[in-house]
Structure 1
Amino acid sequence: MKSMFIRRLIGFSIGPVAGAIISFITIPLTTYFIEPAEFGKASMFSVFQVLISTFLFLGLDQAYTREYFEIKDKINLLKNALLLPLISSFVILLMIVFNLNFVSKILFNTEHYKFASFLFGYTIILMVIERFILLSIRMEEKALEYSIVNIFIKISILICTLIFVLFIRTDFLAVIYSTVLGQIIGNLYLVIKYRSYINYFSFTLDKRLIKRLLIFGIPLIFSASIITLLQSLDRIFLRAWSTFEEIGIFTAALKISAVLTVIQTAFTSFWVPTAYRWYKEKKDIKHFQLVSNALLLFMSILFMILLMSKKYISMILSSDYSSAAFIIGMLCLQPIMYTISETTTLGIVFSRKSYLNIYVSVIAIIPNVAINILLVPKFGSTGAAIATGVAYIFFFLSRSILSNRYWKGMSIKLHLIVSLVMFIAALINAYNFEMIIMVNLLFLTVILLIQISTIRNLYNILFKTEVNKSWDFS
């Protein structure tokens, strides 16, 4: 049974990991040909795109996953959940078409890029469709298929990027056009293969179901919007008080820290349907606790490996982006704390008290805004990175504490201690000095010693048959 658990986890991990490798190849390619200021402009395209799409989902994407095991007709559930976001995305596209100059000014500080502004609106529709189809594949626990789709989209973007920077142009539009074209190619595959999922000719409108989805989803609009804003505030503050060059350096570091975001994507893709099923089967709380502790161990070790590799990360990027290596530690706290919180927030989703996510979002965004205001004008991308790291520690704390109020919950003392050690390590690594390698080895040793009980438990479950019999990871 534990082998089945591991196989599903590996199956969901293949796509994101392969996608990360492909993205990792794309990063030096992009930074070599494109200057930081141009890269910063391209970043604003994706920042505002994600902000708008979050509102469009209306929380119905998460409501869909919550109701998936409660509704027999899965396809009709998908179509009802997708309907409102899809209509809203078309409305947004029309609004953009009639205001291309304004959109271009907001995104790129000039009115000259009308076609790029149109693509901004067009890809929002694609993002909505892709989101719900991938959610459906994920909830069906089709691990290999989910991975294949992710790999295909990433390869499409990589090939398009190569074509643009080598043969067409080397400005920020090369990044935008190649990303959009690669996304279109990947989404065509999804739409053709899963056309039955979005075929509204065979559709039964269920107003009662939509109302039920909205009751769960609407509170998530506010929390998801604030979280998306939280993920974007760093670049927004840099846009207001710094330069496109600083945004470019910050974005390059963010791309590197996406190595851990891959684990976040792979784990949550696997964990969400598994956790819902375990809850329905009334699985013992110790299973949830062990998964959380094991994830903490894995993520904290990977975090230290990245910190110890920052010298080589600097070599991957062009010399214009070398300072990005010093803020990677802080930015890595974002995917780490988010991923770990997916195992400690279950009380919120199980109890259907989705409105609690609003409190989580507000608690996280307050220190983020305060630190950005204090540090960005003086320290630029470093200040923005510190604000992000602190905010996600608050995010984890609030998510976990509120969850434990409405579920048996689990102990997070270990998580708190390890998080504090990682934050101190990230802060020290924002500066360069001769003994940094020895310091990082010391931090790694401390992290392993703190989690020795988790290491012992995992060893016993994996290698001692008499212990393994008391666990059921099916």
Structure 2
Amino acid sequence: MGSSKYTKLVKNTAIFAIGNFSTKILTFLIVPLYTYVLTTEEYGRIDLFTTTISFLVPIVTLQVQEALIRYLLGREIDEQTAVSNCWATYLCGSIISLCLFPLYKLYFKTVFLAIFFTVLLLCNAFNSIFTHYLRAVGKNIAYTIKGIVGTTVLLSLNVLFLVVFKHGMMGYLYSLLVSQIVGVLYLLIIGQLWNKLNFKSLDKDWLKKMLVFSIPLIPNSLMWWVMSAGDKYIINYFLGDSANGIYSLSLKIPTIITLFYSIFFQAWQMSAIEENNAEGRRQFYETVYKLTNALLAGMIACIIVGIKPLYVLIMSERFAPAWIYVPILAVATAFNCQSSFFGVVYTTSEKTKKAFGTTALGAAMNVFFNFLLIKPLGLQGVAIGTCLGYVVVCLIRARDCQKEIHMSFDFVRTLLAIIIVTIQSIITVTRGNIEIGVAGVISIGAIIILYRTEVKEILSKALKMIKR
């Protein structure tokens, strides 16, 4: 039993990796196209449009998908009751969203954009809830295929609308809407959601329990939004659409880090829930923590050393300066990933209110430092503010995780890894190409030595999987 939970974690991670890696890498590979066919202002406006949707989705869904994962995966609720409760929540959220239409019209200034925004928001909310359903019932391959299909549609239409028809910003948004509609149809068919919708199966007691669990996660999600996306509104106000476009592109590489971690996190969340009451939980957390630390530190060191030539050689000239903000944002992303790791304990212990408190404090720190640093340091000040916000959340959640699990944090190696990648980031931003290369080689070598036991274990497991 001891090794089976690790085997299951690796297996689920591999399944999610196939879908997430292929979709996100494809999405990243098309980014240079955007830099040549869109202006920095258009890219900035697109990002604000999609960012606003990401702000509203948790409100429309009431974060019920998190309760779906917690209780359906934990086999505490039957499938039809869970799906019917989710349908009811989605329909109520949709009605609330439609009632806000006058505000959308006021914000976007045209009826067409307001209608477009509303439809895209409702499709996003549906996909957000019922994609989690596939994971909760163990349809991980179907979950993976959905991501691949959606991304293929999005990128194909990007080429058609941006390159062939030259529709600019609206071309991108058309592509996004169609891909979301395809996702909705996929879920309805593959998940057989119509068949599982039965209002007679609505259970008020379970619906109340699910919402008591999920609603505290709405402000938590909004606070994460403030930390990860709220910066863009501050940038837009102080520095304009063009600066927002540059900053949005600088976030693409840290997003790759988040991608790799999210692949693992989806499997980790499932394993943590399943192993919540099992013996050896502390050792399980500690082992996984050390491995993720090794992978995150190594990945960041490798990314930082190659970031300047990647942006300068591949992106268009007007977007190339975005590279200088990536190193600090990469370090910030590492703290964000570890915050997510520690945050699983709130889900397993059903203490979701604590998740909000930690995120709210981090978001407040983030906004404070953004306003403090944006004028003297520009976009670099925003990147530093974001990093400090994530550090605060990570430290508080680590403390709460230690109280709940009594795990060890491998403090000395963790601190040394943070110091190594932070010094490498500073050298990369402030020095020339030779110093950047030397700092990169030293950092990667130091991390390999620091985590040599974990590196050997990772390579050993990888070789065994290849031989199979």
Same fold (TM over 0.5): yes
Match status 1:58 vs 2:56: no
Where 1:319 maps in the other structure, the secondary structure is coil
**C-alpha separation between the residues in 1 aligned to 2:195 and 2:369?**
44
Contact kept in structure 2, 1:257 and 1:328, CA below 8 Å: yes
Cα distance, 1:416–1:77 mapped onto 2, change above 3 Å:
farther
CA deviations over 1:261-292 (Å, ceiling 9, x no partner) = 21132112211111111223334422221111
From 227, 236, 253, the counterpart of 1:230: 227
Letter in 2 for 1:336: A
Cα distance, 1:272–1:292 mapped onto 2, change above 3 Å:
same
Contact kept in structure 2, 1:13 and 1:266, CA below 8 Å: yes
Where 1:409 maps in the other structure, the secondary structure is coil
RMSD (Å) for aligned C-alpha atoms: 2.4
Cα distance, 1:100–1:48 mapped onto 2, change above 3 Å:
closer
Letter in 2 for 1:26: I
Shift of 1:47: 1.0
Where 2:302 maps in the other structure, the secondary structure is helix
Contact kept in structure 2, 1:351 and 1:407, CA below 8 Å: no
Shift of 1:172: 2.1
**C-alpha separation between the residues in 2 aligned to 1:449 and 1:443?**
10
Shift of 1:82: 4.3
Residue aligning to 2:39:
35
The worse-fitting range, judged by mean Cα deviation, of 139-148 and 286-295 is 139-148
The worse-fitting range, judged by mean Cα deviation, of 125-134 and 331-340 is 331-340
Match status 1:443 vs 2:443: yes
Once the two structures are superposed, the pairs formed by residues 107-186 of structure 1 within 5 Å of their partners are 111=109, 113-186=110-183
**C-alpha separation between the residues in 1 aligned to 2:205 and 2:242?**
50
Residue aligning to 1:405:
403
CA deviations over 1:413-454 (Å, ceiling 9, x no partner) = 143442343233333323341311101222222222332343
Residue aligning to 1:75:
80
Q: Which 4+ runs in 1 deviate beyond 6 A?
A: 459-464
Shift of 1:153: 0.7
**C-alpha separation between the residues in 2 aligned to 1:459 and 1:169?**
46
Shift of 1:393: 2.0
Cα distance, 1:26–1:52 mapped onto 2, change above 3 Å:
same
Contact kept in structure 2, 1:141 and 1:273, CA below 8 Å: no
Where 2:201 maps in the other structure, the secondary structure is coil
**C-alpha separation between the residues in 2 aligned to 1:458 and 1:255?**
26
The worse-fitting range, judged by mean Cα deviation, of 444-453 and 157-166 is 444-453
Shift of 1:458: 5.3
Contact kept in structure 1, 2:134 and 2:191, CA below 8 Å: no
Where 1:223 maps in the other structure, the secondary structure is helix
The worse-fitting range, judged by mean Cα deviation, of 307-316 and 451-460 is 451-460
Cα distance, 1:195–1:124 mapped onto 2, change above 3 Å:
farther
From 292, 303, 307, the counterpart of 2:289: 292
From 238, 241, 258, the counterpart of 1:241: 238
From 92, 102, 107, the counterpart of 1:103: 107
CA deviations over 1:112-148 (Å, ceiling 9, x no partner) = x432222211122112211122112112333322211
Once the two structures are superposed, the pairs formed by residues 320-469 of structure 1 within 5 Å of their partners are 320-411=318-409, 413=411, 414-434=413-433, 435-455=435-455
**C-alpha separation between the residues in 2 aligned to 1:329 and 1:181?**
34
Contact kept in structure 2, 1:227 and 1:361, CA below 8 Å: yes
Where 1:280 maps in the other structure, the secondary structure is coil
Contact kept in structure 1, 2:83 and 2:197, CA below 8 Å: no
Cα distance, 1:5–1:35 mapped onto 2, change above 3 Å:
same
The worse-fitting range, judged by mean Cα deviation, of 284-293 and 43-52 is 284-293
**C-alpha separation between the residues in 2 aligned to 1:460 and 1:283?**
23
Letter in 2 for 1:262: L
Letter in 1 for 2:16: F
Cα distance, 1:131–1:282 mapped onto 2, change above 3 Å:
farther
Contact kept in structure 1, 2:305 and 2:428, CA below 8 Å: no
Residue aligning to 2:10:
6
Contact kept in structure 2, 1:367 and 1:391, CA below 8 Å: yes
Residue aligning to 2:209:
212
The worse-fitting range, judged by mean Cα deviation, of 293-302 and 169-178 is 169-178
**C-alpha separation between the residues in 2 aligned to 1:95 and 1:349?**
31
**C-alpha separation between the residues in 2 aligned to 1:257 and 1:28?**
16
Shift of 1:457: 5.7
CA deviations over 1:369-389 (Å, ceiling 9, x no partner) = 122112223433222222222
**C-alpha separation between the residues in 1 aligned to 2:196 and 2:98?**
21
Contact kept in structure 1, 2:60 and 2:97, CA below 8 Å: no
Cα distance, 1:146–1:439 mapped onto 2, change above 3 Å:
same
For these two proteins, the number of residue pairs brought into alignment is: 456
Shift of 1:11: 0.9
The worse-fitting range, judged by mean Cα deviation, of 200-209 and 29-38 is 200-209
CA deviations over 1:58-109 (Å, ceiling 9, x no partner) = 232222222121424123213213422432123213421x4454120xxxxx
**C-alpha separation between the residues in 2 aligned to 1:256 and 1:459?**
24
TM-score in terms of structure 2 length = 0.90
Cα distance, 1:412–1:93 mapped onto 2, change above 3 Å:
farther
Letter in 2 for 1:49: I
Identity of aligned residues (%): 19
Match status 1:256 vs 2:253: yes
Shift of 1:456: 5.4
Where 1:186 maps in the other structure, the secondary structure is helix
Shift of 1:197: 5.8
Cα distance, 1:288–1:197 mapped onto 2, change above 3 Å:
farther
Match status 1:23 vs 2:27: yes
**C-alpha separation between the residues in 2 aligned to 1:366 and 1:304?**
29
